[in-house]
Amino acid sequence: MVSALRNLWARAASGSESQFARAAEQMQRNSSTTHGGGHPSGMSEAELKAFRHWMSEVNADMMRWLALVNLGLVFLLAMKNNPIAFISGYSHERLNVLHRWAGRFVWVQASIHVCCYMYTWSKSGSFVKRLTQEDFSYRAGFTAWLFFTILFLCSFEFIRRRAYEYFFMVHIACAIGAVVALGFHEPKTYGIILYLIGSMWVFDRLVRFVRGVHYSKGTRATIYPMPGEAVKVVLNTTATFQPASHGFLTMPSLKLLQSHPFTISSADSLEFIVRGQRGFTRRLYDRAINNPGESLPCYFDGPYGNVPDYRRMNRVILFAGGSGGSFSFSIATDIARNLDRCCVDSIEFVWVIRERSHTQWFEKELEELRDCPIVNLRIFVTREASNLIASHSDSSASESSESLRNATPVSATDVDETTDSDTPVDEKKKSQESSSPTETLTINFLALPEKALSLAIETEDKSNSTQRRRSSLGDQYFQFGRPDMSSIVKEAVRNADQNDLIAVGACGPTELMRCARNAAAGVITIGGPSISLHCEQFGWG
């Protein structure tokens, strides 16, 4: 420690900080006489004050370099096409957690850097002078720190999940603003690093642009409204991708400069199941309701993702919740179509949905899995009583058709009053109605008689086809309630051999993911079969 301090003091003595070096040497000579927590004897108050100021600037200088190094790592990990993903085998969304932590370190180190200089300037009485002088460098540095602070505050999980679009716009704007401000702060010192950071960002954008142009030339997305406020998006282009990959969709007619990630729900075509939540997805759902089957210009960036090779596993257990079925269905159908090229002996497929009508999201895939001899298909319905499961889809479809036939046009004011009514209702009934497509379809089409008539005919056809399908996808595949995931995994492990490879995959809400992790961890034993777990989190976690 003394040796390191001596080298540091010697460097300071060679420059204009000789007075601080003399103070340090004095402290070293008198270190043997230091008692308790007091400062060394023989050092004057002026020398001690100067030493403290110098140490503050040394700490600030170290923090700025650490922050710059981590800033480069932040931009590297933010790239969709980054070398770390290529070397490690992890896709960019898996590395996103490192991106977030590197960003937090940047803010902490930048804050220490700013606070150390603010302390030194306030003690010397030059704080206001430095921020108001003609040289813009200090104000630029403070501005960069403000951008980093906004980034830090807006990056908490509850903000990302509830206002992702606003978070994303603020994220990009503040990141660019911080880099530009740093360039004005220390153009000579930071120049090379900032050019490197900028070139990484430009390279990633260029690769994404070229890939997007390749897949998006003449690409259009056909949108279909589905039960449960969902939309099925089908692209008229093809791509080579692994099962459970994802891509970014941009639809200029809905949001010009926004791209949103969605998991590819099919094993051989670019199809997506999108739940109408807020922002872009809500606009997409409303557009599909008002214009079912419409074809929209679309820009596709992808595919991305790197999931385990489930074909080489002996047993596969897949858990999915709601639209998280896009992950599980693409994997299971890929295995079912390539049984002769797989090592898989059995697939436990568990899908948790709110209503039975949601099975329309994956009609074709469900039929394939039903006919596959190695698949044990189980669908858990959470919002319908067991005695209503068998009849819900037919009754809801016929009610929707009948209500549309008898509907009379109403004004937009009437619709708003009906929707925003404060009349108290049963909470369970309210939640069921909010997730049912019947109410939404009626409200949106009452003022559009021609489309309502067209939809009524289509709904009747859908009802008939649903009734025919029920004979093939019988009630034995449905259960009421939530699955006991731990028991399902234990049963699969109990039937496995010691040398079997078992893969557990899950995609869905946070609680489902937690249960899947606990279920997989609870069956890991010494001498038992090998168990691997892969979880696909909604959003970016």
- CA angle 131/132/136 to nearest 5° reads 70
**pLDDT value of residue 13:** 40
Question: Is 408 strand, coil or helix?
Answer: coil
Helix axis angle for 363-371 and 325-337, nearest 10°, is: 40
Beta bridge partners of 380: 352, 479
Distance CA 236, CA 246 (A): 16
Q: How confident is the model at residue 385 (pLDDT cuts 50, 70, 90)?
A: low
pLDDT tens sequence across 160-190: 877 777 888 888 889 889 888 888 887 777 7
Distance CA 408, CA 446 (A): 6
% residues pLDDT > 70 (the chain) = 69
Beta bridge partners of 479: 380
**pLDDT value of residue 442:** 36
pTM of the entire structure? 0.63
Q: What is the mean pLDDT of residues 15-25?
A: 45
Displacement of CA 400 from its chain's centroid (Å):
35
Distance CA 440, CA 241 (A): 35
Distance CA 398, CA 463 (A): 7
Q: What is the mean pLDDT of residues 359-363?
A: 86
Q: How confident is the model at residue 48 (pLDDT cuts 50, 70, 90)?
A: low
Query: Of the spans 463-467, 470-474, 515-519, which averages the highest pLDDT?
Result: 515-519
The per-residue DSSP string of 213-264 comes to HHHHTT-EEEEEEETTTEEEEEES------TT-EEEEE-TTT-TT--EEEEB
Q: How confident is the model at residue 147 (pLDDT cuts 50, 70, 90)?
A: very high
pLDDT tens sequence across 287-330: 888 888 888 888 888 788 777 888 888 888 899 888 888 888 88
User: Could you tell me which of 268, 269, 259 has the C-alpha nearest to residue 300?
Assistant: 259
**218-304 placed in CATH 3.20.20.70:** no
**pLDDT value of residue 146:** 92
pLDDT at residue 149 is higher than 90 = yes
- CATH architecture of the domain 310-382+481-537 equals 3-Layer(aba) Sandwich (3.40)
- Cis peptide before 303, with omega less than 30 degrees from 0? yes
**pLDDT value of residue 498:** 81
pLDDT tens sequence across 289-300: 888 888 888 888
